[in-house]
Structure 1
Amino acid sequence: MFDVDAPQEFAFELALCTHLEAATEWVLSRQLGAAVERSGRRIMDVVGVVPGPAFDDRTRITAETIPVRAVESDVGVGEAIARHRAVRESDRLHDAAVDAAVEVGFFETERRKTREYVRQTTRYPDDWFDRLVGVENKPDLGDPGALGRQLRTDVSLGLFDSVILATESHVTRAHLNRIPTEVGVWRFDPETQSRDVIREPTPLPTNAPGVELAEERPLETEIEVVGVDAKARSRRRVAERAYGKGWRTYDAPACAHAEVTDDGRPYCTQFDRVVDPSRACGTDCDAYDPAVAPEIDADALRDARTPWVENPPGVRRRQAGLDRFQ
């Protein structure tokens, strides 16, 4: 049965993404791994990628995520190298990453007799993003859960340039005292999409080693020191994942009461609210009425409302003298 009184964290998160999409030039995504050693250990609710000086160069390559393993491999834009050697001599590159890089147009392949060779189609623009902003959503500060621990880990790790707590609750001094002073605080109303900045975030040292919570047990906490290079790789991974994924990562419910708002959020006319199709809709809902699901054209909305480009020209090229290998 659909619980109409259930916390509306999903609706809050989508409303915030809609607002930030209109108010900033960020590339936005939701629910991304935000740890270094095991990315799934910490999930950031909303990630904002602030475009850098080479952002346009990145948009021309592909609308999809470029595999970070391919970016960091020895495969360059110069002479093509044998695929088997590229994989064998790398401790990070593997066949699946090569296939993914070819599929999105970052690698191109050619065949010489019985061997396959690979090269980059273009140089990767390292400065395509300027900053990463992490937003943790907690609409109700009366039920904080593990909020304090999560935010302390975010600050000590320094994977994001800034971290912000977004809430619908009235923010008291007691609330502010319970979270790290480096964390910014927004009070956000999902109905009016108004955002009040209660506290600005303090920039975090992304170019310095960080400390990541590895395991927490009674009377014992394990931490891992994360080096600068590992953080840089993880920052690139987060940025690439955000660029390829976006935030409209759901389908509308297959129900007669389902509609889609102009900004692409799934809406239930029966309960007059934005709903989470994966948790609030289906046969367990008393109002469920099977029907064809309305379409959400997430890519078209994203292309029209953000700097992300749905259909880039691509960078594949044909070099003189290589036609004989096709």
Structure 2
Amino acid sequence: MREFPFELKLCTHLEATTERIIARQIGAGVHAPSNRVIDVLCVEPGPEFAARTELTSERIPAAAIESDVGVGEACYWRDAFDTSPEYAREVVDRAVEIGFFERDRRGGREYVRQVARYPDWFGRLIGIENKPDLAAPGDLETQLRKDVSLGLVDEVILATESYVTGAHLNRIPEAVGVWRFDAETARVEVIREPTPLDSEGAGTELIDTHVGRTDVRVASAAAKEKRRKRMAERAYGKGWRSYDLPGCAAVEPRSGGVPYCGWKDRVVDPTNCGPECPGHDPADPPTIDWEAERDGRTPWVAEPTGRTRRQSGLDRFG
């Protein structure tokens, strides 16, 4: 099976069998976040998860969370950020728009405060690397070693559809768990349990490799903690349905929004759909309420009581 349909079916399975927040394609580096992207990130609810669902359905900008804006006395918006006025302005506007900040004017100046304290809402982070066909592993070993040495997530799992041999297990770090996932029957066979990583301590991040040299940087415990919060927030706001359905009559959403093509008789990657496909039948894209699908199947809440409904996100707020 191709990796994209495999990934969507795994997300569907995890969403149906766990109470975790499931998201796809989340940056998992500290010094170089885009240097490592986790296929699937599972976020386990923490002690104050309910408080997070009441705040907003959208991802809260990291700069807003990390600013000096609190829930007590309102502060002058510019003094609360250690960044450019232009970026601070955009962050404040976005935080107000999604209902995390509220603002007031005094003597011609704008003051802001949090509507509620940012909660301790998430627990463990579990990273899943998808490789349906182990006969074409690509950079699998390097990717998994990055995850283990950095320890940004609490557990790392390799999900595959292939038969797993001892030779396969010997080529990946011992701490990595291995699942054999049958995408057609949604059955998971645990080949090896993952070993918990030291997510609370410092880690070593692989930055780049050259002939005869590997560039690494140490990531402090504090830097990892900040990055973990950003990853969890992005997962909360993004979810896994981060794709558009194609304008083709042969494609219909199934299993909560998975794009199924009747002509090919399988789940497809919408980015590969178009006039070049022999089965393409031009039509308006299927209408589906993504928020309603996610709300009805997960602990995520689309419309928190008294808060702002989810709106279009601005991905620049990392």
Check the 8 A contact 2:12/2:255 in 1, yes or no.
no
Check the 8 A contact 2:68/2:81 in 1, yes or no.
no
Distance 2:269 2:143 in 1: 24
Q: What SS does the aligned partner of 1:94 have?
A: helix
Which of residues 127, 133, 138 is equivalent to 1:140? 133
CA deviations on 1:126-175 (whole Å, 9 max, x unpaired) are: x2111100000000001111000010010010000001000000001110
Q: Give the aligned partner of residue 286 of structure 1.
A: 278
Q: Give the aligned partner of residue 97 of structure 2.
A: 103
Q: What SS does the aligned partner of 1:20 have?
A: helix
Q: Give the aligned partner of residue 53 of structure 2.
A: 59
Which of residues 48, 67, 70 is equivalent to 1:76? 70
Distance 1:86 1:237 in 2: 19
CA deviations on 1:287-324 (whole Å, 9 max, x unpaired) are: 212111112322111111111011102469xxxxxxxx
Check the 8 A contact 2:63/2:91 in 1, yes or no.
yes
Q: What number of residue pairs does the alignment pair up?
A: 307
Distance 1:156 1:300 in 2: 38
Which of residues 180, 192, 195 is equivalent to 1:187? 180
What's the RMSD between the two structures over aligned residues? 1.6
CA deviations on 1:263-292 (whole Å, 9 max, x unpaired) are: 2101111110111111x2012212212111
Q: Give the aligned partner of residue 115 of structure 1.
A: 109
Whether 2:205 is the aligned partner of 1:212: answer: yes
**Displacement of 1:23:** 0.9
Q: Give the aligned partner of residue 248 of structure 2.
A: 255
**Displacement of 1:88:** 5.4
Q: What SS does the aligned partner of 1:108 have?
A: strand
Q: Give the aligned partner of residue 274 of structure 1.
A: 267
**Which region of structure 1 is more displaced relative to structure 2, 32-41 or 240-249?**
32-41
Alignment of 1:1-326 (within 5 A): 8-87=2-81, 94-125=88-119, 127-278=120-271, 280-314=272-306
**Displacement of 1:84:** 2.0
What's the % identity of the aligned pairs? 58
CA deviations on 1:46-82 (whole Å, 9 max, x unpaired) are: 0000001100000000001011211111111111111
Check the 8 A contact 1:77/1:119 in 2, yes or no.
yes
**Which region of structure 1 is more displaced relative to structure 2, 99-108 or 237-246?**
99-108
Unaligned runs of at least 5 residues, structure 2: 309-318
Task: With the length of structure 2 as denominator, give the TM-score of the two structures.
Answer: 0.93
Task: With the length of structure 1 as denominator, give the TM-score of the two structures.
Answer: 0.91
262 and 89 in structure 1: CA distance in 2 versus 1, 3 angstrom threshold: closer
Distance 1:185 1:88 in 2: 43
Q: Which has the larger radius of gyration?
A: 1
289 and 132 in structure 1: CA distance in 2 versus 1, 3 angstrom threshold: same
Distance 1:133 1:273 in 2: 28
Distance 1:89 1:171 in 2: 49
**Displacement of 1:18:** 0.5
Aligned residue identity for 1:60 = E
Unaligned runs of at least 5 residues, structure 1: 1-6, 317-326
Check the 8 A contact 2:23/2:240 in 1, yes or no.
yes
